[in-house]
Amino acid sequence: MSIVYDAAARTLTLHTRESSYQMQIGPLGYLLHTYYGRRAEGNFGPLHLRKDVGFSPVPHALAEETRGWSPDTMPLELSGANAGDFRTPAVCAAAEDGQRGPDLRYVRHEIRPGKYSLNGLPAAFDPGGEAETLSVTLADESLGLEAELLYAVYESRDIVTRALRLRNTGKGTLTLEKTASCCLDLPFGDWDLLHFHGRHAMERQPERTPVMNGAMRLGSRRVASSHQHNPFAILCGRHTTEDAGDCYGLMLVYSGSFELEAEQDQMGSVRLSAGIQSEGFSWTLRPGESFDAPEALLCFRHDGLNALSQCYHRFLRRCLCRSPFSGALRPVLLNNWEATYFDFNRDKILAIAREARDLGVELLVLDDGWFGRRSDDRSSLGDWFVNEEKLPGGLEPLIRGVKDLGLRFGLWVEPEMVSEDSALYRSHPDWALALPGREPFLSRSQLVLDLSRPEVADWIYETVAGLLRRYDIDYIKWDFNRSLTDLYSPALPPERQGEQAHRCTLGLYSVMERLTAAFPQVLFEGCAGGGGRFDAGILAYFPQIWCSDDTDPIERLTIQRGTCYGYPLSAVGAHVSASPNHQTGRRTPLDTRALVAMAGGFGYELDPGKLSEEEKARIRGQIRRFRKLAPLLREGDLYRLTELDDRRDYEAWQIVSEDRDESLVSLVLTHPRANPRPLHLRLKGLDPAARYRLERLEVFEAYLPEPPEELPELFSGAALLYAGLTLPRMMGDYPGVQLQLRKVED
């Protein structure tokens, strides 16, 4: 039993292998959050001493008995509004008479086997049949609002999911103004917030910062999770490292506008909450109707950030992503974008395909530019029929040519968008988002289709389904290249315009749901100008997402590091591109580029016809090596071998198989020094009692000042974990090292 109700103590406790989460039905039915931390038994209610804090109000019915009891100072499981708690509210709602609340109190709870699901929203599932669900209903009777808090406990995975269903149980219409999926009060401790910010081509830069007195708020108003912030953050102890210390993860399964808030209050208590972006949001709830807020995935680990990341990685791979490709080997692909941009024709693509096949590539992806009259980014989005000038005879002869070479075929689409210069826009100008009487904003010369309208969602589904029915397509790259502006829908009445952003996201999910169900054999890769929509909502449908439009491997070290705090390597689209790099102009060794791309869904994004014979031979070797390593890279546990704030000259990471039999260590030297300190790594995750053979040590494209000393061939796990390894000294621009270890059977 992972969920325990203690009727005497009035506690509800959720246990995972390493953590416990407790709430308690307190005075007047307030649902208190009494504990979340390392696994422990007991009643944690008494931890929260009552103290009379000036200016913190006391509920009327308690004033006589306990002057010091205030919702403003107690840890609450779900904070309401206008109800004595001055901290960040999780839920705000208004009644027809303008009364705002809610003031939520416990009504009932239910524990049941299995995992709840949500209406119209992606959510984790329960492949192993281990999940248990707790439903706790709170209500504000005078407002006529019920809040059902849903929890699913995955005991062996150390993940607790949370969701919120709001119901109108009254007689009048309610307007929801804020619906956070989750609020987590941590009354004690000194916390840092580790979050992931950025911009186009520079996504998910990790930033760790002490939680300040007051509220820190991040999120997106772009109706996409965005390049700028990610709906995932970690609250960790001031001294927590990659391998030790308390940390809490909060990940939203949502791809639209979101907000994430961390507030430290007057008493030093921290509240972490996240959900749909409340600015501009409202939702009309008629009597009897309900509203589901997106799911949040919570994880606590006492043993550092690597352990936390590993829990998320395994969970997303196995319990969130429904694609049959999630746990499967993916083909090594070559994408023509950086090879040709818009300048291609059939012969050029077939020539690339031929060269790619000879290198060992398995899937050829035709990127932007194959449709309408598209020869740059100014036209034709929406006209998803073939550009016969570039591809005479259509896609069939090209696909046949690619398939005759023994390759699979993939295609780029951006179906949520429309160009003003397109047949679609000319016939349906009203399908694009715009405010009445105003010219809409353009971004990359394009407009956005109003996915909140069912006929538009149907058209998008039919268009992509039509391509998949008509052509022999194995892979789709689904792009999304601008943020949403001009939020307004003529299809909604005035009082419902605040629903538009969320309705667009729901429309997107409905299309993704239908397409992935109807075409399970197609491998879908998400993309949004690189990683502008890298989130668990997309991953519930698509097993991989193009991580960034920046393919420079040195920039990617940070982008991919930031991404992998929450998301597994199997989700990260990463390609080897040309040098000098098209985004930064930096020159890097070919094998270093491959080493970095192997920390992700491996592929190429260059013109193989421009490679020397020596480079081609290297690429053949890289693909052979990747194929051998693929199961380990996909299923293994990732360890970051460096701390975020180390002043170091390299980035290093390690992957260890679940049974600890195999491991791969990768390092890239980012700053060669004249008189460097020894490159010393202590390894992680190995079995200390086992012996490991150093199967392969390759130093890529480094200038070695002296012949490296031979490393011993056999090590004890303990020696590698506790003493470590010193690697040969390297010089030059961005050399890399990869070493492989295998357990020796005694």
The catalytic site residues sit at 535, 615
Least separation in angstroms between residue 477's CB and ligand GLA is 6
- The percent helix, strand, coil of the chain (3-state, each to 5) is 20, 35, 45
Nearer to ligand GLA among residue 247 and residue 576 (C-beta): 576
Q: Give the one residue of 534, 546, 602, 692 binding ligand GLA; rule: CB under 6 A.
A: 546
DSSP state of 660: S
Q: Which of residues 318-337 bind ligand GLA (CB under 6 A)?
A: 337
Q: Give the one residue of 153, 527, 576, 594 binding ligand GLA; rule: CB under 6 A.
A: 527
- Site track 357-376 with ligand GLA (rule: CB under 6 A), x = hit: ----------xx--------
Nearer to ligand GLA among residue 76 and residue 366 (C-beta): 366
Q: Which residue in the shown chain puts its C-beta closest to ligand GLA?
A: 368
Tokens of 87: 């901290």
Least separation in angstroms between residue 482's CB and ligand GLA is 10
Least separation in angstroms between residue 532's CB and ligand GLA is 8
**In this structure, are residues 419 and 380 in contact, taking their beta carbons and an 8 Å threshold?**
yes
Least separation in angstroms between residue 338's CB and ligand GLA is 8
List of residues 6+ apart from 683 with CB closer than 8 A: 641, 654, 663, 665, 720, 721, 724, 725, 741
Nearest Cα neighbor of 110 from 22, 218, 3, 183 is 3
Backbone φ/ψ region at 189: left (φ over 0), alpha (ψ -120 to 50), beta: left
Q: Determine the interface stretch with ligand GLA among 95-103, 272-280, 526-534, 664-672 (rule: CB under 6 A).
A: 526-534
Nearest Cα neighbor of 619 from 595, 635, 642 is 595
Q: Determine the interface stretch with ligand GLA among 45-53, 522-530, 586-594, 626-634 (rule: CB under 6 A).
A: 522-530
What are the CA-CA distances from residue 292 to residues 439, 449, 601 (Å)? 34, 24, 33
Tokens of 604: 């190429």
Q: Would you call the peptide bond into 102 cis, given omega within 30 degrees of 0 as the criterion? A: yes
- Residue recorded with tokens 């009354």: 187
**Helix 590-597 and helix 553-564, axial crossing angle in degrees, nearest 10:** 10
- Site track 445-484 with ligand GLA (rule: CB under 6 A), x = hit: ----------------------------------x-x---
Nearer to ligand GLA among residue 545 and residue 699 (C-beta): 545
- Site track 377-396 with ligand GLA (rule: CB under 6 A), x = hit: x-------------------
Nearer to ligand GLA among residue 509 and residue 546 (C-beta): 546
Least separation in angstroms between residue 549's CB and ligand GLA is 5
Question: C-alpha angle 725/727/733, rounded to 5°?
Answer: 150
Least separation in angstroms between residue 481's CB and ligand GLA is 5
**DSSP per-residue string spanning 536-601:** HHHHTT-SEEE--S---HHHHHHHHHHHHTTS-GGGEEEEEE-SS-TTT-----HHHHHHHHTSSE
Least separation in angstroms between residue 363's CB and ligand GLA is 15
- The reply to whether 148 sits near ligand GLA by the rule CB under 6 A is no
Q: Would you call the peptide bond into 705 cis, given omega within 30 degrees of 0 as the criterion? A: no
Least separation in angstroms between residue 405's CB and ligand GLA is 22
- How many residues belong to the site for ligand GLA (CB under 6 A)? 12
CB atoms within 10 A of CB 314: 19
Q: Give the one residue of 530, 562, 603, 717 binding ligand GLA; rule: CB under 6 A.
A: 530
Cα gap 259→242, rounded to integer Å? 26
Q: Determine the interface stretch with ligand GLA among 154-162, 287-295, 394-402, 523-531 (rule: CB under 6 A).
A: 523-531
List of residues 6+ apart from 628 with CB closer than 8 A: none
Nearer to ligand GLA among residue 337 and residue 461 (C-beta): 337
Cα gap 410→422, rounded to integer Å? 24
**In this structure, are residues 160 and 124 in contact, taking their beta carbons and an 8 Å threshold?**
no
Secondary structure of residue 495 in the 3-state scheme: helix
Least separation in angstroms between residue 415's CB and ligand GLA is 13
Q: Determine the interface stretch with ligand GLA among 232-240, 431-439, 524-532, 722-730 (rule: CB under 6 A).
A: 524-532
Nearer to ligand GLA among residue 589 and residue 600 (C-beta): 600
Cα gap 723→309, rounded to integer Å? 24
- The reply to whether 421 sits near ligand GLA by the rule CB under 6 A is no
Q: Give the one residue of 37, 122, 401, 529 binding ligand GLA; rule: CB under 6 A.
A: 529
Nearer to ligand GLA among residue 26 and residue 410 (C-beta): 410
Nearest Cα neighbor of 644 from 102, 137, 236, 277 is 236
- Site track 213-252 with ligand GLA (rule: CB under 6 A), x = hit: ----------------------------------------
Nearer to ligand GLA among residue 16 and residue 481 (C-beta): 481
Torsion of the alpha carbons at 690, 695, 701 and 706, rounded to the nearest 10: 80
CA dihedral sign, ordered 29, 33, 34, 38: positive
Q: Give the one residue of 158, 362, 416, 549 binding ligand GLA; rule: CB under 6 A.
A: 549
Nearer to ligand GLA among residue 376 and residue 455 (C-beta): 376
Nearer to ligand GLA among residue 154 and residue 425 (C-beta): 425
DSSP state of 609: G
Nearer to ligand GLA among residue 566 and residue 573 (C-beta): 573
Q: Which of residues 489-518 bind ligand GLA (CB under 6 A)?
A: none
Least separation in angstroms between residue 364's CB and ligand GLA is 14
Least separation in angstroms between residue 480's CB and ligand GLA is 9
Cα gap 191→264, rounded to integer Å? 9
Q: Determine the interface stretch with ligand GLA among 228-236, 425-433, 525-533, 552-560 (rule: CB under 6 A).
A: 525-533
Q: Give the one residue of 258, 312, 371, 412 binding ligand GLA; rule: CB under 6 A.
A: 412
Least separation in angstroms between residue 141's CB and ligand GLA is 50
One-letter identity of residue 722 = Y
Nearer to ligand GLA among residue 266 and residue 375 (C-beta): 375
Cα gap 647→147, rounded to integer Å? 48
Nearest Cα neighbor of 153 from 181, 94, 96, 113 is 113
Cβ burial of 713 (10 Å; 0-12, 13-18, 19+) is exposed
Tokens of 22: 């407790």
Secondary structure of residue 266 in the 3-state scheme: coil
Residues that bind ligand GLA (CB under 6 A): 337, 367-368, 377, 412, 479, 481, 527, 529-530, 546, 549
